[in-house]
Amino acid sequence: MNTIPAFGLGTFRLQGQVVIDSVRNGLELGYRAIDTAQIYGNEADVGEAVAASGARREDLFLTTKIWVDNHAPEKLAASLEDSLAKLRTDYVDLTLIHWPAPGRGVSVEAFMTALAGAREKGLTRRIGVSNFNIELTRQAIAAVGKDAIATNQIELSPYLQNRKLVDFLQGEGIHVTSYMTLAYGKVLGDPVIAAIAQRRQATPAQVALAWALQLGYSVIPSSTKRENLASNLLAQTLRLSDADMAQIAALERDGREVNPDGLAPQWD
């Protein structure tokens, strides 16, 4: 069953007291989905903030991601158990393979089968992938079945709309999670988005997030400022017109921000 929250709190590049404050503020404001990863180096900080919040575990949706060094079947589940200890929880709601790392010597079949095994052990409720292109997603489907893949978390913004990959995923019934929806803040200064925001009495960030939500994607924006965390949440109630959506669709420029050598696939 695919029940990925539409709106979550991202923690990429946030560490120490900064991420503790961000998660605390987010939970106080009503966020219930939190996205982290082994490589972020902040799982223990996230766990501390969650524990201190008093929020009930069953009300939260925690996501983490397996780093490439832990792809090997003999390492994967043990690394996830380590993540759970840091997060102070018995399970996470979603675990993703962070990068496919096609040249690192572990096949998609091997790490997806190991990830499915971790789910069978109860370490994670759902499994999925991140930064997978069409061909690698096909390999993941061949390994565990498309119904087992809860989402593909990919970079998506008004400047990088990834339509070919999105069409494939939606055709297979695999949910799309958008990260970097604001393109490191670059879209916030876009005149087209600024004009829509002015018309809608909204912020540019709300417009970009609402665009992604209306396309059916989940979003996981991050912020260190409480007022921005609160403001971003309001994107859920912002409705853009067909004309607004068409204007944003025209902003596509293949503006990829994240493309690490050796980890990223050949993009579609």
184 is catalytic: no
Query: Residue 239 and residue 257: Cα distance in Å, rounded?
Result: 27
Q: Is 212:177 a contact under the CB 8 Å cutoff? A: no
From the candidates 31, 40, 159, 179, give the one annotated as an active-site residue: 40
- 209-220 exposure pattern, b = at least 16 Cβ within 10 A, e = fewer: bbbbbbbebbbb
**Which amino acid is located at 6 in the chain?**
A
Sequence-distant (≥ 6) Cβ neighbours of residue 216 within 8 angstroms: 170, 176
CA 266 to centroid of chain Cα atoms: 20
Q: Is 264:99 a contact under the CB 8 Å cutoff? A: yes
CA angle 172, 177, 180 (to 5 degrees): 140
Query: Residue 224 and residue 244: Cα distance in Å, rounded?
Result: 29
> Which residues participate in catalysis according to the annotation?
40
